[in-house]
Amino acid sequence: MIAHEQLFLNRTRQSCEQSLAFADRLVHFMWANVILAQYYLRAGRVVEAHNTIASTVRFAVGAGLHTDAEMEDTETGDMTSLALPPADPIDIEERVNLWFSLTMCEAGISLGTSLPSSAPPVFIF
């Protein structure tokens, strides 16, 4: 599998870029970055792991993933969140699990490396 490692890494990065470019599959984009950060950690690329997960945590906060309240503008009724509204209770639980995974991965990297955390202080465990 080592011979194909660079190919898989390039395809993962390309898919993540496409998700952002078309603003679709944003939840999948965030999950992919959790996995990518874990890969970087195992490969000894700690700074890349920190940059990947920290930027994804900031993206998740911007997308409103950290809040249970609906991010709706009361005057216009428009959604101000980047993420689509949850389809059902299972989708809500999956997003909670995603937020937990993001913050735990980021907190672990931050604690292990003494690099600054990007998660809001309230959400760091």
Prediction pTM value: 0.77
For residue 112, report the phi and psi dihedrals to the nearest 5 degrees. -75, -25
CA distance 28 to 73: 25
Cα 114 from Cα 15, distance rounded (Å): 30
User: Can you give the residue ranges of every domain in the chain?
Assistant: 2-114
Quick: pLDDT tens for 41-57.
999 999 999 999 999 99
Interval 8-22: pLDDT, tens: 888 888 888 888 887
User: Which 3 state secondary structure label does DSSP give 72?
Assistant: strand
